[in-house]
Structure 1
Amino acid sequence: MGQLTCLQTLRYFNVGLEKGRRIEELGCLKKLRGKLRINDLHLVRSREEARTAYLQEKSNIYKLSYGWLRDEPEGCETIDEHVLDGLQPHPNLKFLLVKDYLGTRFPSWFSEESLPNLVKLKLSECNRCKEIPSLGQLKFLRHLELIGFPELEFIGPTFYGVEVNDNGSCSKIQVFPSLKELILEDMCSLIEWKGVELIPTTSGVRMFPKLEKLRIANCQLLKSTPIQFEILSELVIVEVDSEMPLLNLCSNLTSLVKLSVYGVKKLTCFPDEMLRNNVSLQHLSVEKCGEFHELPKSLYNLHSLKRLWIRSCPNFSSFPVLSGENYLTSLQSLELQNCDGLTNLPSGMLEHCRSLESLSVYKCNDLVSFPLHVGEMHSLSYLGLSHCPKLICVPTSGLHRLTGLRHLEIGPFSDMVDFEAFQLIFNGIQQLSSLRTLGVWGHLHWDSLPYQLTQLSNLTDIKMYGFGIEALPHRFANLTSLERLTLVGCKRLQHMDFSDAMPKLRYLGINDCPLLEDLSDGLSNLVSLQKLVLQKCEKLEHLPSSDAMRRLTKLGYLMIHDWPLLEALSNGLGDLVSLQELFLQNCENLKHMPSRDAMRRLTKLRNLEIKGCPKLEESCTNRSGPNSQWSNISHIPIIKVGGSRIQDLA
């Protein structure tokens, strides 16, 4: 490698022990420029050997990445420290990544003097490091990621590089003067992150004067953080047990635009002043905070709030009561998911959300009532109100005024909501000419569908779950725009008759319909069908007839999943002239593929996958014995059997 003395571009170099791959080879490549990644640095054994790369002289390299072997043996810490010390780059460097470094500290060249032009620094998986370098005086550093420091317990003054004079004042008064984004992640031992308040000063140190984004993740033991963030606009806290870091960070903030909190176990609520002081907040999400139970009254002061998500907070029970004229007038998206403590939404809260585009209430197990009058939300495009088993009071009026609604998911509700009451909901829905996709859940003791469904002639996608119907109503032929139809858990379904064609239907999915016995009549008129998925149809013993197959001239994708009675695939499969992908899964008694001639007629078939079909798998590999069916399928470019790729000719 070292003989290529005119080489200018070398994206990566894997260090080896043999001649031509040692680190010293880089020393001869004096014209290198751009990016360079050096891997396997554990094979470099000393500071002197590392210096033979002469990286400090390569002024045209602007991005460097250093990588070690992750699982080095004990006692390598000192060697790693010496090697990294010997890899000091030229001062022109702008981007630096260090990964899997196992030293306990960083060399002195991590400083303003040696890295004056550094813009981005990422230190990752430094599993034995007990301290982080002094970086606070890097004048142009804009992006800093510190990820994977399991031995680090404390971040303090040395991180900032602030010097204290004899009179107690600081000679340098800006810390991280250009930093815009900071990420601290996977520091499972970190307890304290202190600011410069530990340093006696009379001159007023400014910390993070330009920091806009801060992410703290998987620092479970963290108890304290600095409070000096002047213009922070985006704060993400993930998997931190104590609520104190969040409260500390927000105590002086007035500039937040986005706040995302995930897995803060001890967070019970937000202080009222926290939201009141951040009137520019646009995105607020709280997820998997087990003790979080309420939002403060100042929520309604957030006139810029566009997105509010509360997810998997089982004790969340209430929104503040509306008072005065403060409403969430800018709110565009509201999601409430897996909030078991929530029983109702405040009266009037939703009807004043005139900008709301997406509303999702999902798996709120104790929710009893939902605002009955939702017709004022004229901007609403998506409405999901599903899997709330105690919900009794559901909207039945005003739905027809949701003239922009395109996507609706609704049901199942409490058993106290009978079929007649459920149908009333659709009186308004049937007038929505804008509606394009519908997901609707019923009950097995409901032996029919709301009649209004068949009047939604503009629907392109419908999913129906858990109804007790025996067949689709003939009026389904009215859905002339329908492109996708999915039926799940309709356990009494016996017939699929599409004698009146659905000319645009491209996708049909049937799942968990155990009484369905034959599809021949149901499929033959679906001349536009491109994708067919049939799962958990226990009574189906064979594929549709050859005549039905022959009419599916556009079918390109077929999945057969969980057919316990299926033993053989008929030769009619060969009539699917457009078939490109075939998936056979969990058909425990399936033994036979179609004949060789039938399979060879599938000239467009490119992908075959057989999984969970033990009797078929043993005869469908290129090593199968005397009963082999390999010759039937060997022409197919991509074949996977039992999870292993047997052939790839693509």
Structure 2
Amino acid sequence: MPLAIGQLRSLQTLPFFNIGEEAGRQIGQLRSLNNLSGSLEIRNLELVRSKEEAESANLFKKQNINELRLLWNELDNLRENDREYNQLLEGLHPHQNLKGLIIERFFGDQLSTWIGQLKKLVKFELRNCRTCKELPTLGHMPFLKYLHLEGLDNITTIGPSFYGESTVHSGSSSKLFPTLEHLILENMLNLREWVEASDHDGAMEVFPVLNTMRIKRPSLSFLDIPYCKKLTDLPKGKLCSLTSFRSLEIGPFSETTELRSFLDLFDALPQPMHPYLPFIWKLSLVGWPHWESLPDQLQYLSALTYLELDGFGVKSLPDWFGKLSSLELLYLYNCKKLENLPSDQTMRSLTRLRELQIEMCPLLMERCNSESSSSSSTNPVSEWSKISHIPRIIINGQRIRG
């Protein structure tokens, strides 16, 4: 790269700019290059010493730049406090019509508020910003399609501030991340919890068009992936990396998602004596009527106390349910083809099962009616004998026992 490139005021293309300490290579060389277009990558940002120096690049005046990449080097440990880093990033404010933003190895603990003001953003990547304490608010961005979060060691929770308030409305519902199609989380080593957005009136849609999600090496203990009805590309066998799970809620995915794809998601769940996921205690799965089987791997979740199955097309629950020795509550919802529970012997082996709830499962509800099922000899299809020992039974909101 030539010295004093800032003199080329008509320059339109500059794929990258390497900041240097010597005269003619400082970030101020970008000041007058307002005709730049396309993508711009700015490297060695650790050499920029102040917010004022960062502002000298005049990034907000470069209206034809559609993608901006801001790179620091790992070796930068010269600042006395996080505020200096934070202020420097403030000074790199681009124009508000930016389409793509990639930030790598930023060492501050707080991202700039201008990120959330980039209403035209389509792609956002945040990589190896290891001291960053909180994610920016992104749920309101109307055009964001691609989001990649990686190596954010200080992030422990993804919560309501990540979603923000919806500005996109469709009919009577509001949407968060209304156009997001691809979501990638990698190497989030201290991420413990991912909770859903606040929805006070029940009319909120989150990730309505999400179709690809990749999760690699987080330490999540709680994950809720609800109502991603456009999600068809599932992370095959990737649950093996989620070694700290305690609670998992997934579904529904796209109705066009094949059952095999859904089952593949569980390929990495523990086999006997396998170290992964032995302590998960709550599992909620939402399926579709054409999904006529359940993941066999679930039988190895020996610490599971709560299991919810919603919308599956299974006709009979398998006898491996008997291996769920810690199960305390079983909730069956909207499984319209379900006729049979596991065998009588299996159900009675679940000695910790304290509550059974059945709702909108018409075939099973008819067979679990105590009044019409006085004995299996008079009604051979009765399921009542399998559940009569359970202390608390609720069918369609009506308490039958307990």
TM-score range, shorter chain: 0.5 to 0.7
Q: Deviations over 1:581-622 (max 9, x none)?
A: xxxxxxxxxxxxxxxxxxxxxxxxxxxxxxxxxxxxxxxxxx
* Distance across 2 between alignment mates of 1:89 and 1:59: 8
* Distance across 2 between alignment mates of 1:202 and 1:101: 38
1:95 deviates by 1.0
1:208 deviates by 1.0
1:190 deviates by 1.1
* Distance across 1 between alignment mates of 2:45 and 2:289: 47
Aligned length: 285
Change (3 A) 1:64 1:290: farther
Partner residue in 2 for 1:102 = 107
The answer to whether the Cα contact below 8 Å between 2:221 and 2:245 also exists between their aligned partners in 1 is no
Q: Deviations over 1:538-579 (max 9, x none)?
A: xxxxxxxxxxxxxxxxxxxxxxxxxxxxxxxxxxxxxxxxxx
The answer to whether the Cα contact below 8 Å between 1:266 and 1:290 also exists between their aligned partners in 2 is no
Change (3 A) 1:45 1:242: same
Map of 1:15-164 to 2, 5 A cutoff? 15-73=19-77, 75-111=80-116, 114-162=117-165
* Distance across 2 between alignment mates of 1:161 and 1:49: 32
Percent of pairs identical after alignment? Answer: 33
* Distance across 2 between alignment mates of 1:275 and 1:161: 26
Change (3 A) 1:110 1:275: closer
* Distance across 2 between alignment mates of 1:62 and 1:232: 28
Change (3 A) 1:9 1:208: same
Partner residue in 1 for 2:243 = 241
2:114 match: secondary structure: coil
Change (3 A) 1:105 1:180: same
Q: Deviations over 1:321-341 (max 9, x none)?
A: xxxxxxxxxxxxxxxxxxxxx
1:262 deviates by 6.6
1:151 deviates by 1.0
1:142 deviates by 0.3
- Letter of the 1:97 partner, please give it: I
1:35 match: secondary structure: strand
* Distance across 1 between alignment mates of 2:218 and 2:182: 18
* Distance across 2 between alignment mates of 1:240 and 1:70: 27
1:249 match: secondary structure: strand
1:10 match: secondary structure: coil
Change (3 A) 1:279 1:21: farther
* Distance across 2 between alignment mates of 1:25 and 1:157: 40
Change (3 A) 1:126 1:50: same
* Distance across 2 between alignment mates of 1:206 and 1:105: 28
* Distance across 2 between alignment mates of 1:221 and 1:52: 41
* Distance across 2 between alignment mates of 1:225 and 1:118: 25
The answer to whether the Cα contact below 8 Å between 2:149 and 2:184 also exists between their aligned partners in 1 is yes
- Letter of the 2:9 partner, please give it: T
* Distance across 2 between alignment mates of 1:280 and 1:101: 45
1:17 deviates by 1.1
Q: What stretches of structure 1 move > 3 A for 4+ residues in a row?
A: 242-245, 252-264, 271-276, 278-281, 289-293
Partner residue in 2 for 1:606 = none
* Distance across 1 between alignment mates of 2:108 and 2:87: 9
2:222 match: secondary structure: coil
* Distance across 2 between alignment mates of 1:220 and 1:227: 19
Q: Deviations over 1:333-390 (max 9, x none)?
A: xxxxxxxxxxxxxxxxxxxxxxxxxxxxxxxxxxxxxxxxxxxxxxxxxxxxxxxxxx
1:162 deviates by 1.7
Map of 1:381-392 to 2, 5 A cutoff? none
Is 1:266 aligned with 2:272?
A: no
1:235 deviates by 2.5
- Letter of the 1:5 partner, please give it: R
The answer to whether the Cα contact below 8 Å between 1:55 and 1:87 also exists between their aligned partners in 2 is yes
* Distance across 2 between alignment mates of 1:285 and 1:24: 61
* Distance across 2 between alignment mates of 1:285 and 1:194: 27
Partner residue in 1 for 2:175 = 174
1:121 deviates by 0.5
Unaligned runs of 5+ in 2: 270-275, 303-311, 315-402
Partner residue in 2 for 1:207 = 206
Change (3 A) 1:125 1:273: closer
Map of 1:234-633 to 2, 5 A cutoff? 234-236=233-235, 237-238=238-239, 239-244=241-246, 247-250=248-251, 252-253=252-253, 255=255, 256-257=257-258, 258-259=261-262, 260-261=265-266, 264=269, 265-266=276-277, 274=285, 277=288, 279=290
* Distance across 2 between alignment mates of 1:223 and 1:215: 16
Q: Deviations over 1:611-642 (max 9, x none)?
A: xxxxxxxxxxxxxxxxxxxxxxxxxxxxxxxx
1:123 match: secondary structure: strand
The answer to whether the Cα contact below 8 Å between 1:76 and 1:102 also exists between their aligned partners in 2 is no
Change (3 A) 1:273 1:75: closer
The answer to whether the Cα contact below 8 Å between 1:268 and 1:291 also exists between their aligned partners in 2 is no
Change (3 A) 1:262 1:10: farther
With the length of structure 2 as denominator, give the TM-score of the two structures.
Answer: 0.62
Q: Which one has more relative contact order, counting CA pairs under 8 Å at least 6 apart? A: 2
1:221 deviates by 3.6
Partner residue in 2 for 1:13 = 17
2:30 match: secondary structure: helix
1:48 match: secondary structure: helix
* Distance across 2 between alignment mates of 1:102 and 1:21: 22
1:212 deviates by 1.2
* Distance across 2 between alignment mates of 1:156 and 1:66: 26
* Distance across 1 between alignment mates of 2:223 and 2:34: 47
* Distance across 2 between alignment mates of 1:275 and 1:196: 18
1:224 deviates by 3.0
| CA-atom RMSD in angstroms | 3.8
Change (3 A) 1:56 1:161: same
* Distance across 2 between alignment mates of 1:98 and 1:213: 22
- Letter of the 1:211 partner, please give it: L
The answer to whether the Cα contact below 8 Å between 1:55 and 1:89 also exists between their aligned partners in 2 is yes
Partner residue in 2 for 1:323 = none
1:28 match: secondary structure: coil
- Letter of the 2:155 partner, please give it: L
Partner residue in 2 for 1:631 = none
1:218 deviates by 0.6
Partner residue in 1 for 2:273 = none
- Letter of the 1:83 partner, please give it: L
Give the number of the structure whose alpha-carbon radius of gyration is greater. Answer: 1
* Distance across 1 between alignment mates of 2:82 and 2:7: 33
2:22 match: secondary structure: coil
Unaligned runs of 5+ in 1: 165-170, 294-299, 303-650
* Distance across 1 between alignment mates of 2:221 and 2:178: 25
* Distance across 1 between alignment mates of 2:296 and 2:88: 44
1:65 match: secondary structure: strand
With the length of structure 1 as denominator, give the TM-score of the two structures.
Answer: 0.40
1:72 deviates by 2.3
- Letter of the 1:87 partner, please give it: L
* Distance across 1 between alignment mates of 2:122 and 2:82: 27
